[in-house]
Structure 1
Amino acid sequence: MVHCRYLILLFCLAGIAGPVQATPLFDDDQPLKIELKGPLSTLIDNKEAREEKPFQLQVDGTQLALKVRTRGNSRMRVCTFPPLRFNFRKMENVGTVFEGQDKLKLVTQCRKGKRSQQDVLEEYAAYRIFTLLTDVSFRVRLVHVSYVDTDGSRDNPDGQYGFLIEPEKQLVQRLQGERSEVAAVTLKSLDPEQAALVYIFQYLVGNTDWSLVKAESDDSCCHNIVLVAIDSKRNLVPFDFDLAGIVNAKYAHPDPSLSIRSVQQRLYRGFCTDRDVLRGALDKVVSRQEDILGVIWGLPFLTDKDKAKRVKYLGRFFDEASDADAMIKSFEKTCHP
């Protein structure tokens, strides 16, 4: 009887601590090879419908049934091959790299050609750079996908790179936080050090496609930012970097309301922040310079010349950061009060 009571107590304590999610998918940085088989032509030709279709995914010799649909906002318009969303049968994932997964976002190669394949990898690099700086970030997993089209001619047996993004629910659980949905945020409501790190990171990768206000098409704040409340403070978790300067996609153009002509022009878009807090965030980024550039050098598919261009782009940030006072003063000219 005592033994039974002890076991019951253990189960209760486990329940209080919350469920432990098995998510081996994002614990490894090595590219994952998968094959996706199904009605790809029907899915893409009717992409606006966003209707789920039955597919088979093969990974490590195991075949998994899932449903797939198109997703995205701007990429739905500009991409001939839009991003996808996987919907797994969770009980069938046990014992595979997808164990614990339910719905997953896949960033695909938007258009045909080498340049578009580079774009995917460079956007993946932006996510990886931010995870180097903080755990308050979306984890990603690089995949090499071979497509088998069962009702058309979109087969791609040689495969192409894409990447999977950690689901928002898993992000919040991992951070032991809560999703915060509000119409707008104030400077006082944010974790100051974490927010400053986001401002500096966005400037580093040349991303202006984000804001701390609600977009017209959204129900809550913020544009390309997820708000996660941790210990009574809101944290900014950025996503979607296809319009960033580090990617420089052919379809990328800055918002006409901004005072820049190219997405490769950097523009500080954060709140006006205490100089010491900004300096601390800047120091943190600069201290990881070698690791940040290493993300680029470690990318597959890109030639050394392609990698050197991206390293040069990031290098201009670090050159500017060598005079921290001047950089922070320049931020104060465009910061949001």
Structure 2
Amino acid sequence: MRSFFKIQFLFLILIFISARLYSQEAENEKPFEAPYLFGSDTLIELSITTNIKELIRDTGKKSKYHQARLSYQLGDSVVSMLVQLKTRGHYRKNKNVCAFPPLRIKFDKASSSYTLFHDQDKLKIVGHCRNNNSRFQQMIFQEYLIYKAYQILTPEGFSVRLARITYKDSAKEVKNLEEYVFFIEDFEKMAKRNGKIPIYKDRIHQNNTMIYEVTRMAVFQFMVGNTDWGVPTLHNIKMIAKTPTSRPVPVPYDFDWASLVNAPYAVPNEKLDIESIHERLYRGYRRTPEELEFVFKEFRMKKESFYSLYQNSDLLTEKEIKRVINYFDEFYDIINNPKLVKRYFIDNSRQVRYK
């Protein structure tokens, strides 16, 4: 009888060991998960081969996609995939403004599977405006860092990824062009990452959005010196919400007209009562001193992080870093002074007009 129980005990041990081995084997056979493009701040080195002249000359309202090949180094191997490029935007499409227009890249799902760009469809590329121009290169870095600064406040903003692209001409008529760019996260993916849905409806008044979030966003725009946005018209603003009937959260993008970027082509809207993009203007609606102070507290809490983002950046020149810090110093002087708060954020704020 003892030998019978001993055999049963050994049999149970064998079953347990087999189950453990099967479990480990199944775990090791999990499908490969490629890294998320916006999950790192590491610089990406890429090359894009296309007919450059045909691409940058196609700046009409009905610009088309152009075939291209994107490649990057992965260890000892080269990852290569077919993509499509087209020009995008409005103002910077003008050849008198930018010699190289902004681009949109479209990925082939099969070609990009298991690469850095897996699960991406179309992405905006924010790139240089004029070739081999140090000022425009600093502009790219400044706009990139504004996106990073906004994410210090909230994850409900667009993620960005910096890259250095070598453009190669498939027609062999243009020399290789190496420039810094950054990719902007897809709108719907940004909404999903935040547990929300995209809202495409316009004509939503600022006061019909999440009040704290819209006020914080407006104060941030004041901090970086950007007046080129509007909530009801969805001008450089996207909306996300928990449900289709929830109050939406406005998410800003496209900061190239901000004072920090300092674009030579940027001028304030003639309807605004300012003469320069460097002149601060709060474009949020009137809030009480208590409501504003609640928002300002968050900016004071995040002050060190904002400053560190720029002071520790190896992208900007010392001159550009100093310019940003001086501009931030002015912002904090304003929000820490009740008289200046009243002047900028209350007396000169926008007001709801009731008929």
With the length of structure 2 as denominator, give the TM-score of the two structures: 0.82
Deviation at 1:128, TM superposition (A): 0.8
Q: Are 2:228 and 1:209 aligned? A: yes
Residues 119-162 of structure 1, C-alpha deviations (whole Å, 9 max, x = no match): 111111111100111011011111111110112544335x2111
Q: Which residue of 1 aligns with 2:45?
A: 33
Q: Determine the C-alpha separation between the residues in 2 that align with 1:245 and 1:154.
A: 34
Contact kept? 1:42, 1:151, Cα under 8 Å: no
- The equivalences for 1:1-337 within 5 A come to 24-48=36-60, 49-60=62-73, 61-77=78-94, 78-112=97-131, 113-151=133-171, 153-157=173-177, 159-214=178-233, 222-230=234-242, 232-324=246-338, 326-337=340-351
Residues 43-90 of structure 1, C-alpha deviations (whole Å, 9 max, x = no match): 012222421111111123201111111111111122211111110012
Q: Determine the C-alpha separation between the residues in 2 that align with 1:155 and 1:128.
A: 33
**Aligned pair in 2 of structure 1 residues 80, 22: CA closer, same or farther (>3 Å)?**
same
Q: Determine the C-alpha separation between the residues in 2 that align with 1:82 and 1:325.
A: 44
- Specify the SS of the correspondent of 1:151: coil
- Specify the SS of the correspondent of 2:71: strand
Contact kept? 2:281, 2:344, Cα under 8 Å: no
What's the RMSD between the two structures over aligned residues?
A: 1.9
Aligned-residue sequence identity (percent) comes to 30
Q: Determine the C-alpha separation between the residues in 2 that align with 1:22 and 1:139.
A: 18
Q: Determine the C-alpha separation between the residues in 2 that align with 1:260 and 1:24.
A: 42
Which range moves more in the overlay, 175-184 or 48-57? 175-184
Contact kept? 1:68, 1:84, Cα under 8 Å: yes
Unaligned runs of 5+ in 2: 1-32
- Specify the SS of the correspondent of 2:259: coil
Q: Determine the C-alpha separation between the residues in 1 that align with 2:120 and 2:35.
A: 7
**Aligned pair in 2 of structure 1 residues 212, 335: CA closer, same or farther (>3 Å)?**
farther
Deviation at 1:328, TM superposition (A): 4.7
Deviation at 1:271, TM superposition (A): 1.6
Residues 169-228 of structure 1, C-alpha deviations (whole Å, 9 max, x = no match): 1112112222223342234421111111101100000000011232xxxxxxx2111111
Unaligned runs of 5+ in 1: 1-20, 215-221
Q: Which residue of 1 aligns with 2:6?
A: none
Which range moves more in the overlay, 46-55 or 30-39? 46-55
Contact kept? 2:56, 2:87, Cα under 8 Å: yes
Residues 243-288 of structure 1, C-alpha deviations (whole Å, 9 max, x = no match): 0001111111111111111101110001222433322221112211
**Aligned pair in 2 of structure 1 residues 256, 27: CA closer, same or farther (>3 Å)?**
same
Q: Which residue of 1 aligns with 2:23?
A: none
Aligned pair count reads: 309
With the length of structure 1 as denominator, give the TM-score of the two structures: 0.86
- The residue type equivalent to 2:92 in the other structure is R
Deviation at 1:294, TM superposition (A): 2.0
- Specify the SS of the correspondent of 1:233: coil
Deviation at 1:300, TM superposition (A): 3.7
Higher CA-based Rg: 2
Q: Determine the C-alpha separation between the residues in 2 that align with 1:116 and 1:102.
A: 28
- The residue type equivalent to 1:296 in the other structure is Y
Q: Determine the C-alpha separation between the residues in 2 that align with 1:252 and 1:263.
A: 7
Contact kept? 1:94, 1:100, Cα under 8 Å: yes
Q: Determine the C-alpha separation between the residues in 2 that align with 1:324 and 1:98.
A: 48
- Specify the SS of the correspondent of 2:347: coil
Contact kept? 2:202, 2:232, Cα under 8 Å: yes
Contact kept? 1:246, 1:314, Cα under 8 Å: no
Deviation at 1:296, TM superposition (A): 1.9
Which range moves more in the overlay, 23-32 or 134-143? 23-32
**Aligned pair in 2 of structure 1 residues 257, 317: CA closer, same or farther (>3 Å)?**
same
- Specify the SS of the correspondent of 1:240: coil
